[in-house]
Amino acid sequence: MTGTETTSRGPGLRAWRALIAHEGRMVRRDTAGLVIPLGLPLLLLVMNGNGDSPPVPGLGGMSQQLAYVLPMVIVLTIATVGVINMPSFLATYRRYKILRRLAVTPARPAMVLVAQAVVGLAQAAAGIVLVVVVAALLFGLSAPADPLGLALALTLTTAAMFALGMLVAAVSPTPNAALAIGLVSFFAMMALGGGFGPRGNLPDGVAAVGEYLPFGAGLDTLMAAWTGGPLDITQLAALAGVTAVAAAVSARLFRWE
Amino acid sequence: MAVIEVRDIHKRYGETIAVDGVDFDVEQGEIFGVLGRNGAGKTTTVEIIEGLRTPDTGTVRVLGLDPVRDRRAVRTVLGVQLQEGTLPDKATAGELVRLYRSFYADGADPERLLGELGIDDKRDTFVDELSGGQLQRLSIALALVGRPRVAVLDELTSGLDPRARRDTWDLIEQVRAAGVTILLVTHFMDEAQRLCDRIAVFDRGRIAALDTPDGLVARTHATGATLDEAFLAVTDSDSLDDDGAEIGGIALDDVLGSAGTDGTDGQVRS
């Protein structure tokens, strides 16, 4: 209880903290919603991490199989939180007029979007730490060859997935639609991006599209950064481009009620 | 000075005229009723006062402030209780009151407020486990936690059992006694009669009559008329001085039967 300052001041840090903590509780209590983003990547890692493949040259023993599977489950974690879970929360809030209720307080409904994104980031970070720790414990993980490149690829992939999630939330009329649109976008990106098997198995044209959608671009750049290969600048640019376009369109189209 | 001033507001959605020249003042410390059927323009008018919608023409002032231009300042003096279903299921009553308290620089103590509303024993109960009456008390708590000078209460007792309705009425009188001016939107005649100092009866986007409950009843010129009859008389005849309580062929059930199930101005919403 600090302030009795002027009445026209906007909500302060205290409101932001309280709202982020609140959204954190909402996400944590949605137990079913924790299973996919945290459980599925872990399962895929454990089932596939130990393939019988030669080590990546010059990387201290990490297998080529793990060098593909780990970046894949990292992108999977980010995508499930950003493109499936977050829009589903926001569409539910709109449906039940929770955003509208906030609009008649000094808090702005846009604060909820930010708070959800912050909580989503924390959840994705927790999921990433989980798969990295398990990979290290079970499968002989090597340290990333290009930590700065990895940070860049991780940041751009996360930004692109979360911006896409905001776009899904913006255009979905109902919670059900948000879930359906989120799942379809997610599976399409994952299939085209190499999440269900190497992109080499896809027809050339389809594979080329998948390479520049966030899943494929994220997977390739993370893998390259971890193993010391060159980062493809056009894929990084594609991630940045998706972020910019999705963010701009969702800001324009977002329906508050 | 009037706490709420509404001056000749108009609002249309496409072809539908939702509000067609509404004009009234709410005075300091009164409980002002907004009464009318679904689609009469109540909800749109109240949303304009809350700053959720902008009138096509006309002006609104809340304590001299423009709800759209002075949005932030209005939010700190105006407490709003919306119709049901606006709270997340998996939050507890206590968490929500503390969360909403954080939005205001100055406000009530959450624990005390829960106690005053008689739901302090529900502070750790999830929203989806609260009864209708408890939920209504919680939504009143959220409207009051910023210590507003004006409170807008919308369809407060829809869906409550008679006991919970009466308890809620007592509560509203206590809130007013604490100095809060109240704008009460309702379908229910008995509620309006019991609580309101003055009532604006809305019909087809206009105010058909604005008077005290007794004054409205007196307009029917019928001995022993009820507010129900007065309501029907002012909303069904063009002239208020029309002789007698013309009920105009509309059964009471047509007006009241649908009340409380929907609670929105459905068809005028875009």
Task: Give the DSSP per-residue string, A212-254.
Answer: HSHHHHHHHHHHHHHHTPPP-HHHHHHHHHHHHHHHHHHHHH-
Residue B240 confidence (pLDDT) above 60? no
pLDDT band at B187 (very low <50, low <70, confident <90, very high): confident
The four Cα atoms B101, B103, B104, B107 give a dihedral, to 10 degrees, of: 0
CB within 8 Å: A107 and B106: no
Lowest mean pLDDT among A21-25, A130-134, B260-264: B260-264
Q: Tell me, what's the pLDDT at A201?
A: 87
Rounded to the nearest integer, the mean pLDDT of chain B is: 83
ipTM of model over 0.95: no
pLDDT in tens, B124-176: 999 999 998 899 889 999 999 999 999 999 888 877 888 888 888 998 999 99
CB < 8 Å to B91, chain A: 22, 25-26
CB < 8 Å to B102, chain A: 11, 14-15, 17-19
Chain A: residue whose CA lies nearest to B145: A105
Chain A: residue whose CA lies nearest to B148: A105
CB < 8 Å to A7, chain B: 73, 76-77, 105-106
pLDDT in tens, B2-44: 999 999 999 999 999 999 999 999 999 999 999 988 888 998 9
Q: Tell me, what's the pLDDT at B63?
A: 96
Q: Tell me, what's the pLDDT at B107?
A: 92
CB < 8 Å to A100, chain B: 52, 82, 86
Residue B224 confidence (pLDDT) above 80? no
Residues pairing with B202 in the sheet? B207
Measured between CA atoms, how close is A21 to chain B, in angstroms?
Answer: 9
Q: Tell me, what's the pLDDT at B221?
A: 65
Measured between CA atoms, how close is A15 to chain B, in angstroms?
Answer: 5
Residue A180 confidence (pLDDT) above 50? yes
Lowest mean pLDDT among A8-12, A198-202, B86-90, B101-105: A8-12
Average pLDDT over residues A230-257: 94
Which residue in the block uniquely carries the two structure tokens 């087809």? B204
Terminal Cα distance for chain B, rounded: 34
Q: Pull the structure tokens for residue B254.
A: 């047509």
Average pLDDT over residues B216-225: 73
CB within 8 Å: B106 and A26: no
pLDDT in tens, A56-97: 887 777 888 899 999 999 999 999 999 999 999 999 999 888
- Which residue among A18, A30, A107 places its CB closest to the CB of B98? A18
CB < 8 Å to A6, chain B: 105
CB within 8 Å: B105 and A4: yes
Give the domains, in start order, of chain B with CATH numbers: 2-236 (3.40.50.300), 240-270 (no CATH)
Residue A1 confidence (pLDDT) above 60? no
Average pLDDT over residues B206-227: 82
Largest Cα span, chain A = 67
Q: Tell me, what's the pLDDT at B37?
A: 84
- Exposed (0-12), middle (13-18) or buried (19+): which is B80, by Cβ within 10 Å? buried
Measured between CA atoms, how close is A175 to chain B, in angstroms?
Answer: 14
Q: Tell me, what's the pLDDT at A55?
A: 84
Give the residue numbers in B contacting A (CB under 8 Å), as ranges. Answer: 50-52, 70, 72-73, 75-78, 80, 82, 85-88, 90-91, 95, 98-100, 102-106, 142, 146
Q: Tell me, what's the pLDDT at B164?
A: 82
Q: Tell me, what's the pLDDT at B252?
A: 34
CB within 8 Å: A25 and B90: yes
Q: Between residues A5 and A44, which one has the greater pLDDT? A: A44
CB within 8 Å: A25 and B146: no
Q: Tell me, what's the pLDDT at A51?
A: 72
Chain B: residue whose CA lies nearest to A12: B103
Residue A7 confidence (pLDDT) above 60? no
- Which residue among B73, B80, B103 places its CB closest to the CB of A8? B73
Q: Tell me, what's the pLDDT at B251?
A: 33
Measured between CA atoms, how close is B256 to chain A, in angstroms?
Answer: 26
Record the pTM: 0.84
Query: Domain coordinates of chain A in residue numbers?
Result: 14-253
CA–CA distance, A7 with A143 (Å, rounded to integer): 53
Average pLDDT over residues A18-24: 96
Phi, psi of B59, rounded to the nearest 5 degrees: -135, 155
Percent of chain B predicted with pLDDT > 90: 56
Q: Tell me, what's the pLDDT at B84?
A: 64
Chain B: residue whose CA lies nearest to A97: B86
Residue B223 confidence (pLDDT) above 70? no
pLDDT in tens, A138-175: 998 889 999 999 999 999 999 999 999 999 999 998 99
Q: Which residues of A139-173 are buried (b: 16+ CB within 10 A; e: fewer)?
A: bebbebbbeebbebbbebbbbbbbbbbbbbbbbbe
CB within 8 Å: B90 and A101: no
Q: Tell me, what's the pLDDT at A53?
A: 81
Average pLDDT over residues B187-200: 90
